[in-house]
Amino acid sequence: MVLVGRNQERLHAAAGWIGGRTGTRPLAITADLSLLSETRRAAAGIRTLAPVLDVLVNNAGLLSPRRVETAEGQELTLAVNHLAPFVLTRALLPALQASGRGRVVMTGSSSSDMARIDPDDLPLERGWRMTRAYARSKLALLMTTMETARATAGTGVTLNVVHPGLVATGLVRSGGIDQAAWRLLARVALSEAEGADTPLHAALSPELDGISGRYLKRRVPVATNRLARDPALRARVLAATERLAGPG
């Protein structure tokens, strides 16, 4: 197991926690996934440590209260929620193929269900809003994952997108939601352990052997945003993503 995170202390605490419960020694790579250069470096590190990869779970994500551009000039929400998992997955496909049954789990969000998308303006240079940027990043992730699933059909690699549910994590609490709204949401929110259920199902369950290109909620494949079912639009979103992500 290789963990990737930007905060060395938290990363090592997580590795220690997992190691203590499983008797394994997870490895850790420190990388800021808002930067494509660091994401590529992390992918190269994973390839070296694990040339054969059974499962890749892309989970890092954020809800940014302001429009921020990274040092590489990318819109932050799109960079972490969409470009990083896209680049990591693309770089690790050979290692996943080498396993013969490699699985990719993308952490999407039901916020994508009603989102709109303009392939010519994925970073939302026009009309940026916190929730719109988040939902669009998750819809872009869903659409490119569906395209990659189609392109990799028959290779043994499967890719699925999961919505974990509304989970009481730092992302929800710190995402500009005021305290009164949070008190209401907290009553229905899942615990972090409950929120891990659908991602773990997608990563491990034999029920999903050979199943690719699905969007799962509460373990069950459900319909995506209708925009994600438009092959021409998916291809345009993929092309725009490839342009933003650059080669390799």
Catalytic positions are: 134
H or E stretch covering 27: strand 27-30
> Least separation, in Å, of the C-beta of 246 and ligand NAP?
18
Task: Give residue number: closest CB to ligand NAP.
Answer: 61
Q: What is the CA angle 78-83-85, rounded to 5?
A: 120
Q: Which of 188/232 has CB closer to ligand NAP?
A: 188
Distance of alpha carbon 144 from alpha carbon 122, whole angstroms: 12
Closest CA to 34 of 9, 4, 11: 4
Alpha helices in the chain (DSSP H): 8-22, 36-49, 76-78, 84-99, 130-151, 170-174, 179-188, 192-195, 197-204, 231-245
Supply the minimum distance, in Å, between the C-beta of residue 112 and ligand NAP: 9
Binding site for ligand NAP (CB under 6 A): 5-7, 10, 32-34, 59-62, 80, 107, 109, 163-164, 166-167, 169-172
Q: Nearest approach, Cβ of 211 to ligand NAP (angstroms)? A: 21
103 beta partners: 55, 158
Q: How far is the CB of 155 from ligand NAP (least distance, A)?
A: 25
Instruction: Pick between residue 109 and residue 158 the one whose CB is nearest to ligand NAP.
Output: 109
Q: How many CB atoms lie within 10 A of CB 134?
A: 23
Partners of residue 75 on adjacent β-strands: 69
Distances (CA, A) of 140 to 74, 88, 120, 130, 193: 15, 15, 12, 16, 27
**Residue number, 33 or 244, with CB nearest to ligand NAP:** 33
Which of 83, 237 has the CB closer to ligand NAP? 83
